[in-house]
Structure 1
Amino acid sequence: MERFLNYVSGEHRPARSGQWLDSVDPATGEVWAQIPAGDTADVDDAVAAAQEAFRSSDWRRVPTAVRAVRLRAWADAIEANAEHLSEIETRDNGRPLKETRFAQLPGAAMQVRYLAGLAEEIEGTTTDIRPEAFAYTLWEPVGVGAVIIPWNGPLPVFFAKVAAALAAGNAVVVKPSEHASVSILEATRLFAGLDIPPGLVNVVAGTGAAAGDAVAGHPDIGKISFTGSTETGRRITRRATGNIKNLQLELGGKSPHIIFADADLEAAAAGVAGGIFTPNAGQTCVVGSRVLVQSAVYDEFVGLLAKQAENLAVGDPADPATGMGPIANPAQYDKIRSYLQIGREEGAELAFGGRTTEDLFPADSRLRGGYYVEPTLFTTGDNRLRICQEEIFGPVAVALPFDTEEQAVRIANDTPYGLAAGLWTENLRRAHRLTRALRAGSVWVNTYKALHWALPFGGHKHSGNGGAAGGATALREWMELKSVWMNVGDPAPRGEER
């Protein structure tokens, strides 16, 4: 049983309490590693280390070009260790290896390089207010920030958030999910060979109630970047109000995927399947879990979607043939199974799927102890059902019919969330109308879940607080704006406003 350690002030260490938490392999249900059960004492150590590094290191004072070079060296290290880290990520949270190894880790390295380049683009503005005044603005680092990371994609979030914080000149404390901390704790070993001062990056594992609460309420943390569920985002917000922290919240979704009769239905079915029956079993905030289909092609499209689902092999995430892996942890598995029951009780019809581990694997299979749900689709005409309004965060979609464009928009926007939306149509005018009418932070037309670090990403309504990460202004989320007014004319008389 391997034990992984917290990372504080450049050192790997256990929790001060000496307590440990088990890490479960979701493919088999077996405990395979342990992580520190960090708490307030460990968070205090990490924040103190970050404060000292921010004050005493040259990180925020070195030329931004030098900072960028050091971050690019980190990206090189990520690439060099991608195979090892992806294997750990897959075992820790069940995301199939073909995705972690060949998509997420290479993408993470490229994103770190992109953010490193933004460090060289930090610039303020000058304002011509009056002849005797030289007025300008400065973007400065927050100081000590915190990143609270979800369990569905730990390494990509870790690399992206920490790279942005460092590129902006900050020190950072990272709290990974207790359900998937191992890959991040292992990734801290990369810093040993880098010219990034000790204490700039600190990682404390532990439960949300212990370590997470301590991070959210710590008076010396000036900013929190959180990715996760809307309910956890509410708890962090309440906890962080004591010292009015800068909060960046990327939260849940119940995204609509709208298919019009004029669409390429085969392509749309493949896009919808890829947008909900994902390799990590629909455990992604942007999944298109509400499938709105124009009535004229409703039955045909449900049939096409069923064929897409039939071709997805559910199984071992380490197997290259696997199309969809397990649910990441027991609590989430139980939640998804409860929604399968809720859907039936609400009167929705089960079009296909609905089976879980016991129905999918024989009793002698090593996967019988894992957490599996097959691609599932309910059909209903009532968008008020709980399975239509609440985030399930699994491979469970709901299909709803509509007749007119106006009805499609009304149903699509009739949810507390506003993270993403998909639209399939060959009508260019309709595409432009709906991209404006849909209340979502991202809208995709004739594609879905097309993400890139060069574009902003954030949610509306209960999907976030509007602080979009990504894009050319990504570092500004980790900086504060200062105005400077210099009088370059004759000194103004005391008390005179000029």
Structure 2
Amino acid sequence: MTEPHEYSNLIGGEPRPAADGRTLDSVNPATGEVWARVPRGGAADAAAAVAAARAAFPAWSRLPAAARAHTLRKVAGVIAANARELAELETRDNGRTINETAGRDLPGMAYLWNNAAAECASAAEGRSVDFGPGSLGLTRREPYGVTLGIIPWNSPISTFSAKAAFALAAGNTVIIKPAEQAAVSSLRLGELLREVLPPGVLNVVSGLGEEVGDPLVRSRDVDKISLTGSVGTARAITRASADAPKPLALELGGKSPNIVFADADLDKAAPGVTTQAIFTANAGQICYGGSRVLVQRPVYDEMLRRMTEIAAGIRLGDPSSPGTGMGPIVSRDQFEHVTSYLETGVKEGAELVFGGRSGAAAIDDPALAGGYWVEPTLFATADNSLRICQEEIFGPVAVVLPFDTEEEAVALANDSVYGLAAGVWTRDLGTAQRMFRELETGTVWVNTFRKVLFPLEGVKDSGYGHDSVLAYTREKACVIEI
């Protein structure tokens, strides 16, 4: 067996192991085998990263916007040149299929960095207010300073890029703390970006949340935090930052409704509520996954039939193979979390329409029997109060609920503590406009799903704030008496 490759943190422009030399195993979720090791950082690593980012901030923030933009375009070039390697690392680390990482995620991230470069100038814009003769009001936008991006395991490169690119464009320096379950692609990207970013402008530190994340959050020299993660993590961060208050942007969980009206184009709606929304390449491990499918009663039976056929045709297998439709669950802990809901749904009385198998029983390839596999699973129920309808499963498990009227659809959709996104399938523009207005979510997709438009911002327990260039600046006011 090949010895697992060991990756390093990036602190002050240099690759570094954890200060005490500890590491964490990175497990390939398709096989259950250790394939890499990443630093298990602690308080000393957090302090070093903060010091490096703080030292780099004055020079980076004073660069003209055009100079920062030029550097960010170089970053986009590095990502484009190394896209295949980064995609393969991410696929091996978290199980997201190579079709998605190489075909969708990495090309999109090169675009995102170029877009952030184009917005650098907006970070320097201000306003003027004429108070009358001899008195003038001015505002200017300034970067916060050192920003901390805490990113999840389901799409590391994407969230790394969203948090780093916009913060850097605004003149901040950045620390990225990747999830310990899938830190490899982030660490490798940090290593590659040494070529183009000044030392300390971008730092990447891996480790457990309580060991390296907590001291980063508590640091008085960290000026803003952006998290994409769970509600539980958000609560811990909010408590930990109470003694050193700072702006927070929290993109949290979801239980997104995907609503199919009787007039919808079912040829588009059926894949739209399945492979686009929940039975995805990364096994439904998406914060805005459409896990509640609301179907108007005249087309309920037909939609259930079509959804079942699509689910039955999804191929589970090696995520590095282009023919694979859905990969594994990211880790054993998450696998046990997801499979517990398969049992819960049956115990609650929901009808198991399709799927429900997990582990070796869900995969045909004996070489992958040790991986964390869960079949695409469909439940049907008329009771939206069930746990499988209300709690975030974060796996390939969908619940189908019938409705009769538009008002009932809105009530069902909004009957959730979450409010990240929603899908609507209808040919009626009036229905689409009303649903856009009435649904309590940050994003509404009509006749599509998962086309992300920044800002991606939730309501209720799905969080608040977003990642954009202006969101990484604060407005400063000045009144001049002449």
TM-score range (shorter-chain normalised) is over 0.9
Aligned to 1:381: 382
Aligned to 2:164: 162
Q: How far apart, in 1, do the equivalents of 2:258 and 2:205 lie?
A: 38
Q: How far apart, in 2, do the equivalents of 1:189 and 1:18 lie?
A: 18
Please report how far the alpha carbon of residue 130 of structure 1 lies from its aligned counterpart in structure 2 after TM superposition: 2.2
After superposition, give the CA deviation of every residue in 1:332-386 in whole Å (9 maximum; x if it has no partner): 1110000111111111110101111221235x71100101111111001100000
Q: Report the AA paired with residue 288 of structure 1.
A: G
Q: Tell me the secondary structure at the aligned position of residue 298 of structure 1.
A: helix
After superposition, give the CA deviation of every residue in 1:437-493 in whole Å (9 maximum; x if it has no partner): 1000000111111114xx42110110012x133xxxx212211110011111xxxxx
Give yes or no for the alignment of 1:227 onto 2:228: yes
Q: Report the AA paired with residue 481 of structure 2.
A: N
Q: How far apart, in 2, do the equivalents of 1:177 and 1:379 lie?
A: 33
Please report how far the alpha carbon of residue 80 of structure 1 lies from its aligned counterpart in structure 2 after TM superposition: 0.2
- Choose the corresponding residue for 1:141, options 115, 140, 143: 143
Give yes or no for the alignment of 1:337 onto 2:335: no
Aligned to 1:5: 8
Give yes or no for the alignment of 1:18 onto 2:12: no
Q: How far apart, in 2, do the equivalents of 1:172 and 1:241 lie?
A: 21
Q: Tell me the secondary structure at the aligned position of residue 206 of structure 1.
A: coil
Aligned to 2:419: 418
Q: How far apart, in 1, do the equivalents of 2:352 and 2:106 lie?
A: 36
The answer (yes or no) to whether the contact 1:174–1:204 under 8 Å persists in 2 is: yes
Q: How far apart, in 2, do the equivalents of 1:402 and 1:207 lie?
A: 44
Q: CA RMSD in A?
A: 1.0
Aligned to 1:50: 53
Q: Tell me the secondary structure at the aligned position of residue 163 of structure 2.
A: helix
- Choose the corresponding residue for 2:37, options 28, 34, 37: 34
Please report how far the alpha carbon of residue 323 of structure 1 lies from its aligned counterpart in structure 2 after TM superposition: 0.4
Q: How far apart, in 1, do the equivalents of 2:443 and 2:423 lie?
A: 9
Q: Report the AA paired with residue 339 of structure 2.
A: R
Please report how far the alpha carbon of residue 131 of structure 1 lies from its aligned counterpart in structure 2 after TM superposition: 1.7
Give yes or no for the alignment of 1:457 onto 2:459: no
Q: Report the AA paired with residue 468 of structure 1.
A: H
Give yes or no for the alignment of 1:482 onto 2:476: yes
Between 295-304 and 108-117, report the one with greater CA deviation: 295-304
The answer (yes or no) to whether the contact 1:154–1:176 under 8 Å persists in 2 is: yes
Q: Tell me the secondary structure at the aligned position of residue 275 of structure 1.
A: coil
Q: How far apart, in 2, do the equivalents of 1:98 and 1:304 lie?
A: 24
Q: How far apart, in 1, do the equivalents of 2:194 and 2:204 lie?
A: 14
TM-score by length of 1: 0.94
After superposing on structure 2, the runs of 4+ consecutive aligned residues of structure 1 that deviate more than 3 Å are none
Q: How far apart, in 2, do the equivalents of 1:65 and 1:27 lie?
A: 44
The answer (yes or no) to whether the contact 1:256–1:290 under 8 Å persists in 2 is: yes
The answer (yes or no) to whether the contact 2:363–2:373 under 8 Å persists in 1 is: no
Report 1:339-354 matches (<5 A). 339-354=341-356
Q: How far apart, in 2, do the equivalents of 1:174 and 1:201 lie?
A: 8
The answer (yes or no) to whether the contact 1:145–1:221 under 8 Å persists in 2 is: yes
Report 1:45-124 matches (<5 A). 45-55=48-58, 58-122=59-123, 123-124=125-126
After superposition, give the CA deviation of every residue in 1:307-331 in whole Å (9 maximum; x if it has no partner): 1112210111001000000111111
Q: Report the AA paired with residue 200 of structure 1.
A: V
Report 1:402-413 matches (<5 A). 402-413=403-414
The answer (yes or no) to whether the contact 2:282–2:328 under 8 Å persists in 1 is: yes
Q: How far apart, in 1, do the equivalents of 2:173 and 2:49 lie?
A: 10
Aligned to 1:491: none
Q: How far apart, in 1, do the equivalents of 2:393 and 2:363 lie?
A: 23
Q: Report the AA paired with residue 48 of structure 2.
A: D
Report 1:356-371 matches (<5 A). 356-361=358-363, 365-371=366-372
Q: How far apart, in 2, do the equivalents of 1:456 and 1:279 lie?
A: 23
Q: How far apart, in 1, do the equivalents of 2:310 and 2:131 lie?
A: 62
Q: How far apart, in 2, do the equivalents of 1:345 and 1:231 lie?
A: 26
The answer (yes or no) to whether the contact 1:6–1:14 under 8 Å persists in 2 is: yes
Give yes or no for the alignment of 1:446 onto 2:440: no
Alignment length (residue pairs): 477
The answer (yes or no) to whether the contact 2:120–2:169 under 8 Å persists in 1 is: yes
The answer (yes or no) to whether the contact 1:54–1:60 under 8 Å persists in 2 is: yes
Q: Tell me the secondary structure at the aligned position of residue 107 of structure 2.
A: helix
Q: Report the AA paired with residue 183 of structure 2.
A: S
Give yes or no for the alignment of 1:270 onto 2:283: no
The answer (yes or no) to whether the contact 1:64–1:119 under 8 Å persists in 2 is: yes
Give yes or no for the alignment of 1:436 onto 2:437: yes
Q: Tell me the secondary structure at the aligned position of residue 381 of structure 1.
A: coil
Q: Report the AA paired with residue 366 of structure 1.
A: A
After superposition, give the CA deviation of every residue in 1:194-221 in whole Å (9 maximum; x if it has no partner): 1x21011111110111111111211211
The answer (yes or no) to whether the contact 1:74–1:190 under 8 Å persists in 2 is: no
Aligned to 2:466: 468
Q: Tell me the secondary structure at the aligned position of residue 190 of structure 2.
A: helix
Aligned to 1:494: none
Q: Report the AA paired with residue 31 of structure 1.
A: V
The answer (yes or no) to whether the contact 2:122–2:470 under 8 Å persists in 1 is: no
Q: How far apart, in 2, do the equivalents of 1:343 and 1:249 lie?
A: 29
Larger radius of gyration: 1
- Choose the corresponding residue for 1:182, options 178, 181, 184: 184
The answer (yes or no) to whether the contact 1:422–1:445 under 8 Å persists in 2 is: yes
Q: How far apart, in 2, do the equivalents of 1:53 and 1:110 lie?
A: 26
Q: How far apart, in 1, do the equivalents of 2:473 and 2:291 lie?
A: 35
After superposition, give the CA deviation of every residue in 1:148-181 in whole Å (9 maximum; x if it has no partner): 0100000111122111111010111111000011
Q: How far apart, in 1, do the equivalents of 2:217 and 2:67 lie?
A: 32
After superposition, give the CA deviation of every residue in 1:403-435 in whole Å (9 maximum; x if it has no partner): 111111000000000000111111221111111
Q: How far apart, in 2, do the equivalents of 1:103 and 1:154 lie?
A: 13
Q: How far apart, in 1, do the equivalents of 2:473 and 2:182 lie?
A: 29
Q: How far apart, in 2, do the equivalents of 1:201 and 1:361 lie?
A: 40
Q: How far apart, in 2, do the equivalents of 1:458 and 1:260 lie?
A: 25
TM-score by length of 2: 0.97
Please report how far the alpha carbon of residue 190 of structure 1 lies from its aligned counterpart in structure 2 after TM superposition: 1.8
